[in-house]
Amino acid sequence: MNILVVRLGAMGDILHTLPAVELLHRTRPEAKIYWIAESRWHPLLEGHPALAGLLPFDRHSWRGLRESRQALRAERFAWALDFQGLIKSSLVAWQSGAARRTGAARTREAPARWFYTERVTTASPHIVDQHAELVGRPEDLRPVTLPAGVPEGRLPDGPFVLASPFAGWVSKQWPLEHYAALARMLPLPLVLNVAPSQAEAVAGFAHVHVSSIAGLIDATRRARAVLGVDSGPLHLAAALAKPGVALFGGTDPARNGPYGASLRVLRHPSAVTSYERGEAIDPRMRDLSPEQVYAAIAPHVVP
């Protein structure tokens, strides 16, 4: 039986879906599991032992959409699971031709449910466990398998703290001046990891690591501790069980926080869950002081 996993992006969401896919592989070892996702996220999944293959999803051109549809039709899928809950993702599940199409009973976009043949009511607080409910029992989840990564860019020779300051929503971010203040307090170098397009924004920092996803994976594995906001690099650190601190504002850490117990969550007491995709930093994120963050991360970095 061929099974299609639909989770098109983004980085953190793919990492939140991976435990359920590994559970699916363990409970149905005879099945061939394929995952369709935007090609830029494939480095997170390439060579994964649970997957028979990766399919590209490109919605930015008619040619890309046609090639994605052809890749879907090249396989005969019996079952498609939509872990995204959007109209576009449920349409992908439908276009796969799978007779059985499963998704959550509550989706981010209500019309997505029209394309499912099976709707699962989930009860778990965290999105990782909700995904697992689509295929089995959350209590059966295990640590996930991730690529080794590839050394890229410049990193300190000794121990360091790794931070990825940017997020898809500016409202999730912590001010850059707070990182600068924290760097002056820490006994270890604070390395800011960024994509090439973000390097100019952090040019004034002493330790900047510019890399692809493969380089980020390698740097995360090598870091003594990690500081993150609600973005893909933080969830990568959680998947690798790295110690450190996670800073949260308008998103709910009970649902979207780092999965597992390695990272301590800091959230201002007056923070309000809104999931607002703001173009300015949430004031409650600004209210998390460098001193507070230092106190939380110090046990991992102070001899």
- Do 195 and 281 belong together in one domain? yes
Q: Is 149 a member of any domain? A: no
**Distance of alpha carbon 193 from alpha carbon 199, whole angstroms:** 9
- Do 124 and 171 belong together in one domain? no
Q: What local confidence, expressed as pLDDT, does residue 71 receive?
A: 78
- Do 112 and 26 belong together in one domain? yes
Q: Is 155 a member of any domain? A: no
Q: Is 162 helix (H, G, I), strand (E, B) or coil?
A: strand
DSSP category for residue 29: T
Each residue's pLDDT tens digit, 135-166 = 988 888 999 999 999 999 999 999 999 999 99
Q: Read off the CATH number of the domain in which 18 is found.
A: 3.40.50.2000
Tokens representing residue 155 in the block = 């990193």
Could you tell me how many helices (H) and strands (E) the chain has, helices first?
10, 12
- Do 175 and 250 belong together in one domain? yes
Is the confidence at residue 195, as pLDDT, over 80?
Answer: yes
Q: Is 224 a member of any domain? A: yes
> What is the identity of the amino acid at 232?
G
**Distance of alpha carbon 1 from alpha carbon 104, whole angstroms:** 22
**Which of 94, 110, 140 lies at the terminal end of a domain, its last residue?**
140
- Do 179 and 295 belong together in one domain? yes
For residue 149, give the nearest of 242, 219, 50, 208 by alpha carbon. Answer: 219
**Which of 140, 170, 189 lies at the terminal end of a domain, its last residue?**
140
- Do 173 and 125 belong together in one domain? no
The total domain count for the chain is 2
Q: What local confidence, expressed as pLDDT, does residue 64 receive?
A: 64
Domain hosting residue 133, numbered range: 2-140
Q: Is 147 a member of any domain? A: no
Compute CA distances 212 → 42, 195, 196, 227, whole Å: 12, 6, 8, 18
Q: What beta strand segments (E) does 184-259 contain?
A: 190-194, 208-210, 225-229, 244-248
- Do 171 and 292 belong together in one domain? yes
Tokens representing residue 142 in the block = 């295990």
- Do 167 and 116 belong together in one domain? no
CB 192, CB 163: distance < 8 Å: yes
Q: Is 248 a member of any domain? A: yes
Q: Is 257 helix (H, G, I), strand (E, B) or coil?
A: coil
CB 141, CB 129: distance < 8 Å: yes
Q: In what order do the strands lie in the sheet with 244-248?
A: 208-210, 190-194, 161-164, 225-229, 244-248, 263-267
Residue 81: pLDDT band with limits 50, 70, 90: very high
Work out the average pLDDT over 21-28: 96
- Do 128 and 229 belong together in one domain? no
Average pLDDT, the chain: 95
Q: Is 152 a member of any domain? A: no
- Do 107 and 236 belong together in one domain? no
Q: Backbone dihedral region of 27: left (phi > 0), alpha (psi from -120 to 50 degrees) or beta?
A: alpha
Work out the average pLDDT over 100-122: 96
End-to-end CA distance of the chain: 53
